[in-house]
Structure 1
């Protein structure tokens, strides 16, 4: 009986580890064209490196509406911010973009679409 319980626990642990692994994997994207890596989310920030065309990167986070994404280079190059529109990988970008409400909490039914308050 003790051996059966131990075997069952081992199988359950392996199954749990197999399902948890994809959730722990970092999302990746690919650069579409050579891109400058900036120290912050915007063109005004200094350039600290470059992404090569088709280079794969880890995505750390994206700003709202995915305008800028913080990338970590797989080869250990500098991490920084690149324009989100130049990264291929919508599911990865969605996974690291903060949630944005699709309605206005002050007017959830959109009764006042032209309000200025």
Structure 2
């Protein structure tokens, strides 16, 4: 299982960020996919899988949060997200935009 990397400080070479169909948190994204794509309840499967991921990889699904990452952002952020996206709800892009620090323009 992959170990989620939480970036604390971006290198100076990074001048902006482009997010394509970004999700808010791993837990919310997997919950959406289980319920809307596979018609499965997220509880208890998601909670058990998150616990196993914490044990094996060191991070739970709750810790993998793009929302928390963009709150600390100071760079320009460009979010691309189509209205017809079935894998990642468009509402997640709006939540990322609202939480983001740095320069942002809604268009």
Larger relative CO (CA 8 A, sep 6+): 1 or 2? Answer: 2
Query: TM class, shorter-chain normalised?
Result: under 0.3
Scaled by the length of structure 2, what TM-score is found?
A: 0.22
Q: Normalising to structure 1: TM-score of the pair?
A: 0.21
Greater strand content: 1
> Whose helix fraction is larger, Structure 1's or Structure 2's?
2
